Amino acid sequence: MTPAIEVTATADLPLGMSAADFLRDYWQKRPLLVRGAIPELAADQPLPIEPDDLAGLACEDFALSRLIVHHADSDSWQVQTGPLPEDAFDGLPERDWTLLVQDVDRWDRDVAGLLRHFDFLPRWRIDDIMVSFAAPGGSVGAHVDQYDVFLIQGMGSRRWLIDDGESPDLTLRDDVELKLLRQFNPTHDWTLEPGDLLYLPPGVPHHGIAIEAGLTFSVGMRAPSQAEMLVDLAEHLAEALAESQRYADPNLAPANDPFEIDGSAIRRARAAMPAIARLPDAILIRWLGGFLTRYRSAGEAAASDAAIRPEQLKTTLQAGGRLSHHPLARFAWSALGDEPLLFVNGLALPCATMQAALICRHDQLGMDELAGQPESIWTTLARLVDSGYLVPDGADHE
């Protein structure tokens, strides 16, 4: 039987099914609408971020943002890229415009908290959470993405149309700055309310239109093209590869640890890049871990002004201090190769598997989390503090 395309979440099954069933039947195969999947975004719950705060973030130099206005009378689109000036929102029409800000999970801990709903996926597979505010009628047009995306309604209601046909026309318009489809023939038409989730695999045309002013949280997956992966390994090998050929894991099993780069990831990397088939695991994992934690980075953490000694750091934490992941730091680990490695933003550090998993798993670390760990972990933690990837209490997240 063909799996259902719309289900309702329960307390025990937030996807309306087990994670294994979702990955088997839907992941990179077909869309799925899950009603009530994210209960903390229900209409009577506080939002992780308010529209005014999102607008303020869009004006910051470090933010990746766009303001898109649709002129319905001429079917034309006006795009302004950030950082936006503070007066960018003055004089906007009452409808038909959208503000989009990428990487909001890097800058807002409450937004980043939504990622816990996706711990059945490897964390390094997740790219970012983009947050959009749309006035009534606001849209970015009918388009298609080359990566998996979970679209979560956080405020207001939004109409989503998708084309789940077998061979959709992906021809793009040549008269607009945005990559919009020339033809769009939807097969499904839904209205999403706060807390609803729509999963779309790569290549499914879709079009979202705000019914009323609202927020949408888009959890996008990292799908490096084969060309990007080969460029990072050896630029001269990538010239003939198409960008549409991307890393894929359609038969993914639930993650034992969302930060682990395991043997199946290595096998899929080899399949995506036949030219590296003969490379030993030890060489391949050191490259792959660095690439995955560096790819599509929103920026880089600033190194500490002065080195901290491991014993000095331990004393600080014993006095009640804590360490936090820098918002720009990406963590992963792997036990493959000659020795287990902890990866942070391209940096590869030798680190025992249990210690690496602990550092990745806890975005805040204190003595409670570090109890019983061997003394060697303090050298690793000090290195991460010196590099800026772990930030002590009271320090600036530069």
For 73-98, the pLDDT digits (tens) are 999 999 999 899 989 999 899 999 99
Residue 222 contacts residue 126 (beta carbons within 8 Å): yes
Please tell me the number of Cα atoms within 13 Å of 29 on its side-chain side: 14
Residue 24 contacts residue 53 (beta carbons within 8 Å): no
Which residue type occupies 158?
A: R
pTM: 0.79
What pLDDT is recorded for position 235? Answer: 52
Parallel/antiparallel/unpaired status of strands 197-200 and 214-221: unpaired
- 57 CB contacts (<8 Å, ≥6 apart)? 63, 65, 101, 104, 107, 108
On average, the pLDDT of the chain sits at 90
Q: Is the pLDDT of residue 48 over 50?
A: yes
Please, which pLDDT band fits residue 306 given cuts at 50, 70 and 90? confident
3-class SS of residue 152? strand
pLDDT digits (tens, 9 = 90+) for 281-298: 888 888 889 999 988 777
User: Tokens standing for 109?
Assistant: 């801990």
pLDDT digits (tens, 9 = 90+) for 160-195: 999 999 889 999 999 998 999 999 999 999 999 999
Distance CA 352, CA 186 (A): 51
Q: Is the pLDDT of residue 18 over 90?
A: yes
**Closest to 247 measured CA to CA, from 223, 228, 211:** 223
**Closest to 64 measured CA to CA, from 100, 92, 97:** 100
Distance CA 311, CA 319 (A): 13
Tally of CB atoms within 10 A around 275: 14
Q: Which residues pair with 148 in a beta bridge?
A: none
Q: What is the dihedral of CA 17, 23, 25, 26, to 10 degrees?
A: 90
Domains, the chain: 6-87+95-221 (2.60.120.650), 234-398 (3.40.366.30)
**Rounded to 5 degrees, what angle do the CA atoms 324, 326, 329 make?**
125
308-329 mean pLDDT? 94
Distance CA 398, CA 230 (A): 31
